[in-house]
Structure 1
Amino acid sequence: MNEHTYSPAHIEKKWQKIWQETGAFKTSDEDDKPYFYCLEQFPYPSGRLHMGHVRVYSIGDVVARFKRMQGYNVLHPMGWDAFGMPAENAAIKNGVHPAVWTYDNIDFMRKQVKELGSSYDWEREVTTCSPDYYKWTQWLFLLFYERGLAYRKRGAVNWCPDCQTVLANEQVEDGACWRCGTEVVKRDLEQWFLRITDYADRLLKDLDKLTGWPEKVITMQRNWIGKSEGAEVQFAIEGSDDSITVFTTRPDTLYGVTYLVLAPEHQLVKLLVEGTEEEEEVTRFVEEIRKTSDIERTAADAEKVGMFIGRYAIHPLTGEKLPIWIANYVLPDYGTGAVMGVPAHDERDFSFASKYGLEIRVVIEPQGEELNKPLETPYTGEGVLVHSDKFNGLSNQEALTKIVAHLEERGVGKAAVSFRIRDWLVSRQRYWGAPIPIIYCDRCGTVPVPKEQLPVILPKEVSFAAGNLSPLKTNEEFLHTTCPTCQGPATRETDTMDTFIDSSWYYLRYISPKDDTKPFDSQAVNRWLPVDKYIGGIEHAVLHLLYSRFFTKVLYDAGLVSFDEPFESLLTQGMVTKDGAKMSKSKGNVVSPEEIIAKYGADTARTFILFAAPPDRDLDWSDQGVEGAHRFLGRVWRMVEQHREMFAVRQPASATSPAEKKLLQVTHATIKKVTEDIGTRYQFNTAISAIMELVNAIYSYPEDADVGTKLDAIETVILLLAPVAPHITEELWHKIGHETSVHQQKWPEYDPAALVQEEIEYVIQINGKLRDKVVVPRGLKREELEELVLNREKVKEQLEGKTIRKWIVVPDKLVNLVVS
């Protein structure tokens, strides 16, 4: 290879090897520099990197390298979110054990990530399917169990027939499995849950702390948690000792209730119809409703379907009988699984009552106005109460609190808060996940595995042809064990944990990944965290990010960490698309990172993907854009090559002529902009654009001007470009005579004095239209400026026969003459 020719394949392999051999990016835990934790969401080892990976890792690497050059002790780790259904599905399909499939993929993807030139500390690598990791996942589960935050109950759950496992509510998208797209159905199973609802209020309130998060993510979490303030109202059931609890945000409409609706799966339904003539029909209706997903049942345009179950409730304030119905639009896990029907003042209730001929009773009317009867649409606005006993004439807002107080006085209700979020269902009837460390004993009941016996090792020999049976049940040696309490025969829990458990704490394990005595070193964690910059996809706004916040708060309450939010600042990058569509094999529009790196080099791939769009926007792939990025790097290479010998004999810069001062000004303006764009605004595209402009200015610099000024500018280009294109800049840095790494250099600082321009260009407008431009000395007095403008030939021509009515002067920018 000609050493003067830009050859990415050669220099990138060369420097990757040197960086690895010298431990260039190893992080020290004992450093007097300020700490900075830069983290990208770790990948699932699917087997191949895609351009989305390249984008997120390039963004993270720019931040990490930039911060190192700014003098920070940077932690920048990488690992693998390695449990999950795809590995198990591959095992079933191809006869390959999930562990073999997963570790082969990790080896391949690790190689790909290293080819990008990312500055990871590989000594901190974690793999969630490794026993030395999931031992501590199990330990944390037991911590939750000890604190009353992990529990088991039987209930209707989301079941994916294709993946043969339970899904949390958050993992059901438009009624389908988030992984495979199969329609989700309901099944009754004993399941393990984590009480995330105990933290709902804190998770909501503490969103206000997250000033470094995108507002759209804050909004998504706020909506998912879904806090509602209102009242719980008790409706007695005629002929029964049971009662129905309803949560409502509109206690002001309580006198307008004409029926109650229970979720078909509500625990009272079966009891209320047992032995009645309606029992068979109700049972049939319930089974039919259970076949539809929650999303379908609650969609705004879904048909409201219900039936009367033959029983009545008693209104707590009026004593009247209210028919009890069941309907598809009420879900068992939201609120109390029961709603009060107020059809005159709720669109959904109005639609349902109109369909089934139920009474529609008006109890709120606009101030000073009587509603037409019968109603054609429900009235949902503000107003005063009518037909509401002693509360008649009150505004509905005033009545809200007074009716709640009245309910409390009579012992039939109270003020209450409800949340949309439900407890986190963490059981999975699959193999490739962390075993839940619980044992069942006929004598002792549910017994946690003693922590000193962890990890509960995932057995290698299982059958994947067991239908709906958890694969772990097929390994007799795993299934049957000894009770740690009574030493009698017992069985193990055969469900594994949701893989979102693994990713809810991995950022802590990076701090002490080889510690075999505890999940993480609390003292070190408290030095490094919260994560300073977290980078990943918007698709995890509710799932992973919410769960990680929950985990951190539990660990904070347990005294294991000193902070209660894990990620201080969050950057959610956009997708990489091609021809306007998300890249996918089925669309035939996938661009392979290996192909791009082989043809153009990793630096080109990084430069393009950082330059083509702001990081939070979708990026549409462009072959021409990639070629343009490659040409730019080639231009930088040639610029340095042409001046290599000059660096050996360089003299201090002496910028005295206008051209020299101009290049000095552009150099320092570029330093200022790139520093702000990378370090504050995270707008890498505009940072690269500024570097390109500096390169153009260097190429335009007169040959007879001061060489020192030019060489300083070239050196600045290399330093500023280093986080973006680490290989070419490392090579060029050494070419110009440096012996230490460019990535160990101090980030350049701009000189404010160099930014002060001695001359200013004024735009001259007449009646708002551009007519001329003039360059004047900075600080020129207004009278002198006006005189200079009036003497311009183009201005004289435009003013002939006209009168100047007004001068508008924007200092250092513009002069506009208003004439007539």
Structure 2
Amino acid sequence: MGSTADTSQPGRGGSIPAYRYSAALAATIEQRWQDHWDQNHTFEAPNTAGPIADVAAVAGREKLFILDMFPYPSGAGLHVGHPLGYIATDVFGRYKRMTGKNVLHSIGYDSFGLPAEQHAIVTGIHPRINTESNIANMRRQLRRLGLAHDQRRSVSTTDESYYRWTQWIFLQIFNSWYDEKLKKARHINELEKEFADSKRNLPLGHASKKWAQLSRLEQRKVLDEYRLVYLANAPVNWCPGLGTILANEEVTAEGRSDIGNYPVFKRNMRQWTMRITAYADRLLDDLERLDWPESIKLMQRNWIGRSTGARVKFKSSAGEIEVFTTRPDTLFGATFMVLSPEHPLVDALTTPTQKSAVEKYRESARKLNDAERQNDDRKKTGVDTGATATNPVSGEQIPVWIADYVLMGYGTGAIMAVPSGDERDFEFARAYNLPIVAIQMPPDEWFASNKIAPTTDCSLWPSAYVGEGVYINSS
């Protein structure tokens, strides 16, 4: 056999191959190519028009846009979890470039908000200085990973050139209302003109007046009832230690903040709210066109929350209690009402003898998050306010309770309880010895499966009946 050249180097523990792929060699190769990509604008995606256009380069090429989730520049740099998603999108983007697509792969920095503010408090450095320093380091790290981002497109949410458009979008929504007949949004000025020209009736409370007879404050309040964004009292997770409101995901199971471990309390506060339900049909229809996992679609459907039903008002000593029901046909079976502990009428409804019990219960409800309150496996609890309301169809006086399974942020924050036809209401009525009136006669098969004789005496029923049946006690 022929001789071979010596390709080893002397070193600790014996000879080391001269061209071994070491970390130092890897770094040299990687940085050389990263410099090459920068110098040759390899990952810069040209537009079809405008100052960064290259018509010849994009001619006949299909566009593909990839936007990575913005990291929070609230730490000195990226953590090990960031590359997990970024490398996956980078692989996908590079593959699509190889198939001829004009790929725009971009990223930005979510530099506004609580994480950046808290980091500034902890370090004692002004948030702008801190944030810009952290962003610079993250840019270095992302480049060092060799990711194929078009850095010209990178933005920070604290850039005035970025958030001015967020403000602009908000103003467009604020100055719009949803026309049910045309099924689209229109400028609020068009609504005001319709009121002024008597082409549209004023809402209840002003129906006897002309638009010009209302004060400017009254006119503004009327228009505010139609705007796509409006101020309303809503239950929120208030964290005094952080001085802000937290999303449910930012609150631990122990009722404390993820950041700082401060106590979090449920409070009713004035919040900007969007009339998402006005677009419910369109949102749900378009959702079906998306190639998303079914679990994600279900989450979106629940968030959109389309419901078809009626609003019903029950008179009480504290004023009208409004509920939304998908089953107005079951009104005769409403034998009690349940309000959210945060409902604005609770204080006025509660009798002096029940005040202490109600306050104690409300305090315990504040310590639970929404998921815990709506857990079907959890025992239902509640407290009687001592007040009654009038069933609008039967004229019966029915008791008004509060219970933590009713959420202020869902519907009107009040429900009419029909225990014979709703399992949750049935359990609650059984637990607190509240009346249950049958409004549907279950079929014989239902009684047979439950091993009881047919009867309208709900005290003998093992559960609520939620199927089809002949209506009874409904007149």
TM class by smaller structure: 0.7 to 0.9
Q: Is the 8 A contact 1:262 1:327 kept in 2?
A: yes
- Partner of residue 187 from structure 1, selected from 267, 280, 291: 267
Residue 322 of structure 1 corresponds to 398
Q: 1:464-479, aligned counterparts within 5 Å?
A: none
Q: Distance in 2 between matches of 1:17 and 1:100?
A: 28
Q: Distance in 2 between matches of 1:299 and 1:64?
A: 42
Query: 1:189 Cα shift?
Result: 3.3
Letter in 2 for 1:163: L
State yes or no: 1:388 paired with 2:467: no
Tell me, yes or no, if the aligned pair for 1:80 and 1:128 is still in contact at 8 Å: yes
Which runs of no fewer than 5 residues in structure 1 stay unpaired?
Answer: 391-820
Which residue is 2:216 aligned to?
none
Distance 1:191 1:338, change over 3 A: closer
Q: Give yes or no for contact 2:426–2:464 (8 Å, CA) kept in 1.
A: no
Question: What letter corresponds to residue 27 of structure 2 in structure 1?
Answer: A
Correspondence 1:246 to 2:326: no
| AA of the residue aligned to 1:42 | F
* Alignment counterpart, residue 41 of structure 1, candidates 57, 65, 69: 69
The residue that corresponds to 1:146 in the other structure is 175
Q: Name the CA distance, whole Å, in 1 between partners of 2:63 and 2:458.
A: 69
Q: Match for residue 22 of structure 1?
A: 40
User: Could you tell me how far apart the structure 1 residues matched to 2:356 and 2:459 are?
Assistant: 36
What secondary structure does 1:87 align onto?
Answer: helix
Query: What is the aligned partner in structure 1 of residue 31 from structure 2?
Result: 13
Q: State the Cα distance separating 1:130 from its structure 2 match.
A: 2.3
Aligned to 2:180: none
Q: Measure how far apart 1:40 and its partner are.
A: 2.0
The TM-score normalised by the length of structure 2 is: 0.72
Q: Secondary structure at the match of 2:308?
A: strand
Structure 1: distance between partners of 2:260 and 2:304: 26
One-letter code of the match for 1:167?
Answer: L
Could you tell me which of 238, 260, 276 is aligned with 2:337? 260
Task: Answer yes or no: is the 8 Å Cα contact 1:150–1:194 preserved in 2.
Answer: yes
Contact 1:350 1:377 in 2 (8 A): no
Residue 246 and residue 195 in structure 1: after superposition, are their counterparts in 2 closer, same or farther (change >3 A)? closer
Matched, 1:272 2:349: yes
Shift of 1:166: 0.8
User: Following superposition of structure 1 onto structure 2, how do residues 237-636 of structure 1 map, counting pairs within 5 Å?
Assistant: 237=316, 242-273=319-350, 278-279=354-355, 282-283=358-359, 285-368=361-444, 369=447, 370-371=454-455, 374-375=459-460, 377-389=462-474
How far apart, in 1, do the equivalents of 2:431 and 2:270 lie? 37
Looking at structure 1, the residues matched to 340 and 63 of structure 2 have their Cα atoms a distance apart, in angstroms, of 53
Offset of residue 273 of structure 1: 4.2
Which residue is equivalent to 2:302? 223
SS in 2 for 1:335: coil
Gaps of 5+ in 2: 1-8, 10-16, 49-57, 177-226, 448-453
Q: 1:482 maps to what in 2?
A: none
Pair 1:99-2:128 in alignment: yes
SS of the counterpart of 1:352? helix
Rate the CA distance shift 1:318–1:226 in 2: closer, same or farther, 3 A.
same
SS of corresponding position for 1:62: helix
User: d(CA) in 1 for partners of 2:261 and 2:465?
Assistant: 38
Q: Secondary structure at the match of 1:247?
A: strand
Q: CA deviation at 1:124?
A: 1.6
Cα–Cα, structure 1 residues 214 and 182, in superposed 2: closer, same or farther, change >3 Å? farther
Are the structure 2 counterparts of residues 166 and 389 from structure 1 closer, same or farther at C-alpha, using a change threshold of 3 Å? closer
* Partner of residue 761, structure 1: none
For the Cα contact (< 8 Å) 1:343–1:378, is it kept in 2? no
Q: Determine helix, strand or coil for the equivalent of 1:324.
A: strand
Structure 1 304/73 Cα, relative in aligned 2: closer, same or farther at 3 Å?
same
How far, CA to CA, are the matches of 1:154 and 1:226 in structure 2?
19
1:114 positional shift:
0.8
Instruction: Identify which of 81, 84, 87 aligns with 1:55.
Output: 84
> Which residue does 1:166 correspond to in 2?
245
Q: Deviations over 1:89-111 (max 9, x none)?
A: 22222212222222222111111
Change (3 A) 1:222 1:153: closer
Q: Deviations over 1:732-784 (max 9, x none)?
A: xxxxxxxxxxxxxxxxxxxxxxxxxxxxxxxxxxxxxxxxxxxxxxxxxxxxx
CA–CA separation in structure 2 for the residues paired with 1:306 and 1:38? 49
> Could you tell me how far apart the structure 2 residues matched to 1:289 and 1:66 are?
52
| In 2, Cα distance between equivalents of 1:271 and 1:305 | 21
Equivalent residue of 1:209, what SS?
coil
Q: CA offsets, 1:225-266, max 9 Å, x none?
A: 2333333333233x67x3322222334433322111222332
Distance 2:471 2:167 in 1: 58
Which of the residues 86, 91, 96 maps onto 1:67?
A: 96
Q: Distance in 2 between matches of 1:178 and 1:232?
A: 38
**Following the alignment from structure 2 to structure 1, what is the Cα–Cα distance between the partners of residues 275 and 311?**
21
Q: Give the corresponding residue for 1:208.
A: 288
Following superposition, the deviation at residue 379 of structure 1 comes to 2.7
Decide whether the 8 Å contact of 2:357 with 2:383 is kept in 1: no
Distance across 2 between alignment mates of 1:228 and 1:179 = 36
Output the CA distance in 1 between the equivalents of 2:336 and 2:272: 35
Contact 2:358 2:385 in 1 (8 A): yes
Structure 1 residues 150 and 227: alpha-carbon distance in aligned structure 2, compared to 1, 3 A threshold: closer
Matched residue, 1:78:
107
CA contact (8 A) 1:344 1:375 kept: no
CA contact 1:255–1:387 (8 Å) conserved in 2: no
Measured against aligned partners, the alpha-carbon deviations of 1:439-479 in whole angstroms (never above 9, x if no partner) come to: xxxxxxxxxxxxxxxxxxxxxxxxxxxxxxxxxxxxxxxxx
Question: Match of 2:425, SS?
Answer: helix
> Is the 8 Å Cα contact of residues 97 and 103 (structure 2) preserved in structure 1?
yes
* Residues 49 and 109 in structure 1, CA contact (< 8 A), matched pair in contact too: yes
Q: Return the letter of the residue paired with 1:379.
A: A
Identical-residue share of aligned pairs (%)? 44
Identify the residue that residue 125 of structure 1 maps to in structure 2: 154
Using the TM superposition, give the Cα deviation of residue 362 of structure 1 relative to its aligned residue in structure 2, in angstroms: 2.4
User: Structure 2: how far apart are the matches of 1:193 and 1:172?
Assistant: 21
Question: 1:14 Cα deviation (Å)?
Answer: 0.9
Find out whether 1:234 has 2:252 as its counterpart.
Answer: no
Name the CA distance, whole Å, in 2 between partners of 1:223 and 1:178: 25
Structure-2 separation of matches of 1:129 and 1:265: 35
Aligned residue for 1:142, secondary structure, equals helix
**Cα displacement string for residues 5-62 of structure 1 (whole angstroms, at most 9, x for unaligned residues):** 6532221111111111221222211331322212222222233333432222222222
Query: Considering only CA atoms, is the larger Rg found in Structure 1 or Structure 2?
Result: 1
Distance 1:203 1:176 in 2: 34
Query: Structure 2 vs 1, CA of residues 171 and 244 (structure 1 numbering), >3 Å: closer, same or farther?
Result: same
Deviation at 1:295, TM superposition (A): 3.2
Q: CA deviation at 1:159?
A: 0.8
- In the other structure, the counterpart of 1:115 is 144
Q: Deviations over 1:355-407 (max 9, x none)?
A: 222112222333235147523532334242353246xxxxxxxxxxxxxxxxx
- Whether the 8 Å contact between 2:276 and 2:304 is mirrored in structure 1 is no
Alpha carbons 1:184, 1:293 under 8 Å: kept: no
Write the letter of the residue equivalent to 2:153.
R
Q: CA 1:117–1:283 in structure 2 vs 1: closer, same or farther (change >3 Å)? A: closer
- Relative contact order (C-alpha < 8 Å, sep 6+): which is higher? 1
Q: 1:209 to 1:352 in 2, by over 3 A?
A: same
**Aligned-partner SS, 2:412:** coil
